[in-house]
Structure 1
């Protein structure tokens, strides 16, 4: 499951703007509203929390990966966490495709890309953390 963490009431406000007021079809107006009414920030945080359960060597295991990604300077510009993670995921996969780490033809599912290889990639490193937490589930 993919979830986003937003402030209370966010979904209702977005529904009103996009659906009730029809601004999903008037993107220029929606953009003007957002740019004039909402402050921009580079102090966002992307939280990655993944838990997987399954059998490994006959034992039921659960592994958890948790990480926070913050805004930071890349080159001569400060980038927000959402900019970094959005670009890093796309660039890592394209980089792996270009260097032959991924098949050059056919459909590649996200789960077919090994996490270790993704995190070792120069772009995928944005998602890396220093310690992966694993624990025995039962």
Structure 2
């Protein structure tokens, strides 16, 4: 990687622009996976059924620290896989299916009916506590 690219990447991160795509296409790196997500009740129910059927376990991403930390990474993110790292990939919520970290390629979710049905979900608490 050229230093100019590294400098640009650091500048993008500092100003809140995260584009980890390759030519605007998702690289399935998993860096956008979060523990707090907007979901509908139907999505929550579908995910509950899927994790029960497939006996999916929680993934932790914490590194040992002197003080307790919160793992804000999605508990379904499996870093051991190179692609489709999400353990519930086939039933992942709409926000995960449609999100892309390249701002110019990201379509807005203009579906107000969908937005109004969503609630912010603590994924770890909802599915594993």
Q: Report if TM-score (shorter chain) is over 0.5.
A: no
TM-score normalised according to structure 2 size: 0.24
**Which structure: larger Rg?**
1
TM-score normalised according to structure 1 size: 0.23
Larger relative strand fraction: 1
Larger relative helix fraction: 1
